[in-house]
Amino acid sequence: MENYGYTKTEDIHNQQSNVPYRSEKKIPAAILGILVGWLALNKFYLGYTKEGIIQLVLNVVTLGAASIIPFIEGILYLFMNDKQFDDTYVYGKKGWL
């Protein structure tokens, strides 16, 4: 069987290209935002330390009312496709909504 100049790595990559794109961080970030957003764990999980601290301070100052922000973010994460989520929040580093 000839490989027509392809390496084994290229053959494996071509076989894997049929697999749909999956984000490793989307579902955990969404769950953290929805369930424990008042602790800003979704922000810290995505690497947004400054935004996480701001979220914690907002939650204290507003007596928890600002925890609606991570809840909404968690819902938004779930409705985004995986590629869009990674492009926006993992690689694009968009800190808020």
Mean pLDDT in the chain? Answer: 86
What six digits make up the tokens of 70?
A: 């991570």
Tell me: the pLDDT tens digits for 41-61? 999 999 999 999 999 999 999
Report residue 17 CA to chain centroid gap.
22
Q: Torsions phi, psi of 19, nearest 5?
A: -80, 130
State pTM to two decimals: 0.75
pLDDT score of 10 more than 50: no
**Between 82 and 18, where is the model more confident?**
82
Task: Please identify which residue in the block is written with the tokens 């968690």.
Answer: 74
DSSP state of 89: I
Angstrom distance (rounded) from CA 61 to CA 9? 54
Angstrom distance (rounded) from CA 75 to CA 52? 18
